[in-house]
Amino acid sequence: MIGKHFLIRLKRFIPVFLPRVHRVFVSKENVRYMSDDETLSFLENNKNFGIVRFGNSEFSLLAGRSVGTQDFSSSLQRELKKILLLQPTNYLLALPVDTTIKNLRFKNQHSWDQIWKKTPKLFMELYVKNNYDYGSPFCFRIKDIKTINLSRYLNKIERLINDKKIIYIGPSKGKNSKKPTLKQEILTIDIPSKNAYDHVDNIIKQVQKVTRKNNNILVLIVAGATGTVLSARLNKLGVLAYDFGQYQRHLEFIGSSFGNSQDN
């Protein structure tokens, strides 16, 4: 007997799957993507570009499932789908091409690695395009990056943000509650650690209230799938925003502290 929850998820899944199912049979051989370091270099060289990142949570929500920090929302699902279909002109869309389409980053060393072969891989097959250079969504996930010089890599991140006035959006509770030390922070917007998407319109209003009176603003967002939406919306509104993700937690994991890296 088919369960009720299965039917609910199937109903959510069909609208994002069926219209794109033909894409599964299209070759992805020429899909272009950047490494972690190339992604940071792109942001350095294109200072008016923000970044919008997709990871496992975003793809799970697209598939009709709830995740730890966000209950399923049909409105959020539609926004995530729209972001994937857009050809952005003022932000870099970062998708896990190397972990899914190319199968290069994780080599099944941990059970977690298998995640990328499931829902994310399916949606990458459905939505990835051949005529766009995708950034790396792992560029701020320091313990997952591929680099031979971590100190230089951290300095690169610092250069991106240290000369900006920072609006920080993130939770004060939960696993990502710790903020990096920011040189020019002018506002912190505290968000719930779960279901922050319910507050997305109000968050944007708070940001716009500040950006009307200030220039050289960078919005750093730590908000899971809500951060993906916020960064896309703010950049479209002309407000520079980075979907910053779990940077500080990863930094603490590897035993560093923000702002203290030394170039070798």
Confidence band for 263, pLDDT divided at 50, 70 and 90: very low
Classify residue 89: in a domain, yes or no. yes
Confidence band for 25, pLDDT divided at 50, 70 and 90: confident
Classify residue 263: in a domain, yes or no. no
- CA dist 257 and 180 (Å) reads 8
20: its two tokens: 């794109």
Classify residue 175: in a domain, yes or no. yes
Indicate the number of domains in the chain: 1
Tell me, what's the pLDDT at 2?
A: 65
Q: Report yes or no: 95 and 124 within 8 Å, Cβ to Cβ.
A: yes
Classify residue 131: in a domain, yes or no. yes
Tell me, what's the pLDDT at 106?
A: 56
pLDDT of 151-203, one tens digit each?
899 999 999 999 999 999 999 998 888 888 898 999 999 999 999 999 999 99
Confidence band for 114, pLDDT divided at 50, 70 and 90: low
pLDDT of 196-245, one tens digit each?
999 999 999 999 999 999 999 999 999 999 999 999 999 999 999 999 99
Torsional sign, CA 222, 223, 229, 233: negative
Predicted TM-score (pTM) of this structure: 0.90
Burial of 134 (0-12, 13-18, 19+ CB in 10 A): buried
* Beta strands, E only, 42-145: 50-53, 91-94, 133-134
- CA dist 131 and 44 (Å) reads 22
Classify residue 153: in a domain, yes or no. yes
Domain that holds residue 162: 4-253
23: its two tokens: 């894409």
Relative to beta strand 133-134, strand 241-243 is unpaired
- Least confident span in 48-52, 76-80, 84-88: 84-88
Percent of the chain with pLDDT over 70: 90
Classify residue 262: in a domain, yes or no. no
Classify residue 264: in a domain, yes or no. no
Classify residue 209: in a domain, yes or no. yes
pLDDT of 39-63, one tens digit each?
999 999 999 999 999 999 999 999 9
Torsional sign, CA 114, 117, 119, 121: positive
- CA dist 149 and 179 (Å) reads 24
- CA dist 133 and 170 (Å) reads 28
Q: How many residues does the chain have?
A: 264
Average pLDDT, the chain: 88
pLDDT greater than 90 at residue 9: no
Tell me, what's the pLDDT at 5?
A: 84
Tell me, what's the pLDDT at 117?
A: 74
